[in-house]
Amino acid sequence: MDLQEFTQLTLAVLEDQGTATYAPTIIADDTVQVIQGIPEGLDHRAALQETVLRLGLEQSDFFFGVRSGPGEITTGHHTAVDMQVQCISELHQGFVISDLKECPWWTLGQGRDQ
């Protein structure tokens, strides 16, 4: 699977349920982890990164999807050396997918090479 395929799978979920109820999701080694029970007020992006750390995936290959703003889901493919990200934006007439050059809220790996 590549990022485009993962984003299309995520889009199929969003078309069915919308962005408001989308739970952070990680796929690593054919295992799907949907993060449930996020405390009220905890940003889903922070919950995703905490789960990556708890599972010891920070140096692994995995895909993720997370609500990153109102009507917005960020999908990504993380590897030990790189990360590709896309954004799915919910519009009145459907969804738009955009490639992102960077992911400013992603803090895992910062300072790793220093």
**pTM more than 0.85:** yes
Q: What is the pLDDT of residues 21-73, one digit of tens each?
A: 999 999 999 899 999 999 999 999 999 999 999 999 999 999 999 999 999 99
What's at 14, amino acid-wise?
L
Q: Report yes or no on 43 lying in a domain.
A: yes
Q: Report yes or no on 108 lying in a domain.
A: no
Q: Report yes or no on 107 lying in a domain.
A: no
Residue 112 pLDDT level (bands cut at 50, 70, 90): very low
Give me the number of domains the chain comprises: 1
Q: Report yes or no on 72 lying in a domain.
A: yes
Q: Report yes or no on 73 lying in a domain.
A: yes
Give strand pairing partners of 91: 94
What's at 107, amino acid-wise?
T
What's at 24, amino acid-wise?
P
Q: Report yes or no on 48 lying in a domain.
A: yes
Q: Report yes or no on 110 lying in a domain.
A: no
Residue 110 pLDDT level (bands cut at 50, 70, 90): low
Q: Report yes or no on 113 lying in a domain.
A: no
**DSSP letters along 27-70, please?**
EETTEEEE---PPTT--HHHHHHHHHHHTT-TTS-EEEEEEEET
Q: To the nearest whole percent, how much of the chain has pLDDT over 90?
A: 78
- Which range marks the domain in which residue 33 is found? 3-100
The distance of Cα 36 from the centroid of its chain, to the nearest Å, equals: 14
